[in-house]
Structure 1
Amino acid sequence: MADVNAEFDVSEGVARVVLRREDALNAIDMETKRAITDRLGAYRDRDDVRVVVVEGAGEAFCAGGDLDEVVERDYALEPFTESWEELFTELRTLPRPTVAKVDGHAYGGGFDLLLHADISVAAEDARIGQPESSLGIVNHFSPPELLGRVGLPTTMDLLMTGEPISGERADEVGLVSRSVPAEELDATVESVVEALKATSPRVLEHLKRGVYASAEMSPTAAKSHLETAALEAARSDPDYREGVDAQREGREPDWPE
């Protein structure tokens, strides 16, 4: 296997995927994409993984794909879109919450990477943009996600001009979950991680699967779908009883295995 520009670590319930290609603003080559996808797949059945955090080393989150590879493959686009799709699908369907820690630059595939995380926390001075149009590429990953989040006018602005916006602006328009001053980013991400670790893994899995499924339904169908999932979980899982009892007894929940 070629060198992979990412590091993986699991500690205290948190799996961290750190992109490490600082000289190229953490642009991801195909080998690294496949390695991340494979590692996420391996986390599916690991009970010691409660949360997955994706971040970039140095002064960038991720500047997208590797343009040198584009030239090497005679500008064929399919291998790149397929490998990105595999990575995004793994992120979206992973039965664990995923968090993107966004600082510095998040462009192209990095932009799409944060879009496919469950929760994205950005530094206010981060630069977030989708410049594919300037590369002669018709982006197809971003539009479905963007339309539901930021609406048509902002979607068209981001995709057609390719101009980046700040993390603070991204928060204002609903592109990221929250933004904080750069010096507070580490602490804020850790606070989010601790909140997720304190919640029942089964509840988070049901929520993740249910919310994403309902996003493609009408409001009435979505409500019915989520109600069915909630009632079934209450009947079959021990978390509902434990959560209520813990609240009444003034203690932290001890979620059953």
Structure 2
Amino acid sequence: MTEATDAPVRVHTEHGIATITLNQPAQRNSLSMAMLESLSGVLTDLGRDGGTRVVVLAAAGKVFCAGHDLREMHEQIDSHDFQLKLFQQCSKVMQQIVNLPKPVIARVSGVATAAGCQLVASCDLAVAERGARFATPGVNIGLFCSTPMVALSRNISRKHALEMLLTGELISAERAEQIGLINRAVASEALDETVYGMAATIAGKSGHTLRIGKEAFYRQLEMSLDQAYDYTAHVMAENMQANDAREGISAFLDKRAPDWQHR
């Protein structure tokens, strides 16, 4: 599937890997209502696309995402309804990423701030060039990054999350890797190789198994230890009945490559 080149979001799919590109570099790829609605539609379509195994979230230009469009927000500053709809739409998109039945990898080049940092934190995996920077700077303009806090606090420790939220300061890609906001910080020339190498490795697995695993991962996080083990025991027993589990185990025992049917 491919979007028009002037759309807020572009999509290109190849070898089971769909790349979503935020496509408004002149606006620093800000999450305006139009951008969020476009991104939501694309995620819905990819969720239904049986040919897509992995999604890469990238951005055009020198800024990955500068967060919400402050100019748009300021123009509607007296409209509580607009502000609520904007933040609800953003929250919907972040949850779509988490609930998408395929892994999502953030490919970060440049700066990711506020809701842009939230976007990175919401992805399952993230790789950034070493020159990338991250921040939740809302506190600097009197607007605490409360919704970005949800994704941030579920990815890094409380003290690291609160340091970012309370200071509003930029952190380096190396620091983001240290605290677990991203998986890897790499040289800019190695960014695509790393991202798409990771995506290709994942895309080579059973799509059915990936869907089961991603859903189970996020569900068990919110459970107590005994509930999590009970839930995942049922998940694994059910998974064992799947065609791809039977094929994968047979292939391992036969010392051959599995022939995934993605079911």
TM-score normalised by the chain length of structure 1: 0.93
Tell me, yes or no, if the aligned pair for 1:25 and 1:105 is still in contact at 8 Å. no
Segments ≥4 residues shifted beyond 6 Å: none
What are the within-5 Å matches in structure 2 for residues 1-257 of structure 1? 4-75=7-78, 76=80, 77-235=83-241, 237-257=242-262
Aligned mates of 1:92, 1:5 — CA distance in 2? 21
Aligned mates of 1:234, 1:63 — CA distance in 2? 44
Q: How big is the shift at 1:205?
A: 0.5
1:149 is paired with a residue whose SS is coil
- Which stretch has the larger CA shift, 153-162 or 240-249? 240-249
Q: Which residue type is aligned with residue 238 of structure 1?
A: N
Tell me, yes or no, if the aligned pair for 2:144 and 2:165 is still in contact at 8 Å. no
1:159-205 deviation digits (Å, cap 9, x = unpaired) = 01110111111011111122212221110001111011111111111
Q: How big is the shift at 1:148?
A: 4.0
Aligned mates of 1:14, 1:20 — CA distance in 2? 18
Percent of residue pairs bearing the same amino acid type: 29
Q: How big is the shift at 1:134?
A: 1.4
TM-score normalised by the chain length of structure 2: 0.91
* Number of matched pairs: 254
1:38-59 deviation digits (Å, cap 9, x = unpaired) = 1111122211111111101121
2:21 is paired with a residue whose SS is strand
1:9-45 deviation digits (Å, cap 9, x = unpaired) = 2222122111122223221221111011011111222
1:106 is paired with a residue whose SS is strand
Aligned mates of 2:232, 2:184 — CA distance in 1? 25
2:107 is paired with a residue whose SS is strand
